Chains A and B, each alone.
Chain A
């Protein structure tokens, strides 16, 4: 039996990527980059889903990560559309300049 990577290592990878994504969301002001960081977070989640799936020998985790991809696709398409329409009103993607939603 070939040696395998322990589950915890996958989880470390997943966690690291997730936290990098979180920090990116917090740090960056460019709306598109913020979106990319959200993608990183989603991918990090996928890693743990797949890893657990493999270790428990089910297919549920794969189906779940498939769903995550669907949601990500939907989110990105709508999100980018929103960015485009905001950009029409105000030619910037800097999130700090969009504070009109407060009363």
Chain B
């Protein structure tokens, strides 16, 4: 079941991500991004992170992407962005990406290669439920949670201050 969902959806997500980067029009990019996020929600779900999967759909695919769309529409952006410039640029970027991928993977396998991640720990029935995540969030991480709320408040006020048209002129 997990295998059936992960590999097709993972591949799809990679292509959609490429679509975000390569699409000329911002609207297209945004659409690809929404698709990618929904796919990732599925990936989260098969790992028993149900709560996060729901949040991924609601917050990312919902709220944040709506905000993106809204700004794109508001600014009336055209797809005038050229993605690739030169052949040398392409080679350079591909090389860069390859180096990054290989480097990060090498490092990660170095960390996870110790054997302890070979097979997943057996999990309880309740793992990943909202109750469990909520309990952790409000016991061990209650202070970061409060800080996050302040951060969101600050961001809200900041966004209002930045985006409001100047009243005095």
Contact = CB atoms under 8 A, between A and B. Distances in A.
Q: In their complex, do chains A and B touch, with some C-beta pair under 8 Å?
A: yes
Interface of A: 2-13, 15-24, 26-30, 32-33, 35-37, 39-40, 43, 46-48, 50-57, 59-60, 62-63, 65-67, 69-78, 80-85, 87-88, 93-94
Contacts of B10: 9, 13
A18 B104 CA distance: 10
Given A22-B100, A26-B93, A76-B64, 12 more contacts: A4-B120, A15-B101, A19-B101, A20-B17, A32-B26, A36-B29, A39-B60, A59-B135, A62-B52, A67-B144, A74-B151, A78-B158
B99 to A, nearest CB: 9
Contacts of A27: 21, 83-84, 93
A75 B152 CA distance: 9
Contacts of B105: 11-12, 15
A46 B77 contact: no
Given A3-B3, A28-B83, A50-B52, A82 B162 contact: yes
Q: Is the interface of A mostly helix, strand, loop or mixed?
A: helix
Given A13-B10, A43-B60, A57 B17 contact: no
Nearest to B93: A23
Given A57-B121, A69-B60, A3 B2 contact: yes
Contacts of A6: 118
Contact of B64 (A19, A50, A72): A72
Contacts of A39: 33, 60, 64
Contacts of B84: 27
Nearest to B119: A4
Interface of B: 1-3, 6-7, 10, 13-14, 17-18, 20-21, 26, 29-30, 33, 36-37, 40, 43-44, 47-49, 51-52, 55-56, 59-60, 63-64, 67-68, 71-72, 74-75, 77, 81-84, 93, 96-97, 100-101, 104-105, 108-109, 112, 117-123, 127-128, 132-133, 135-137, 140-141, 144, 148, 151-152, 154-156, 158-163, 165
B158 A24 contact: no
A41 B95 CA distance: 19
A57 to B, nearest CB: 4
Given A13-B43, A20-B21, A63 B133 contact: yes
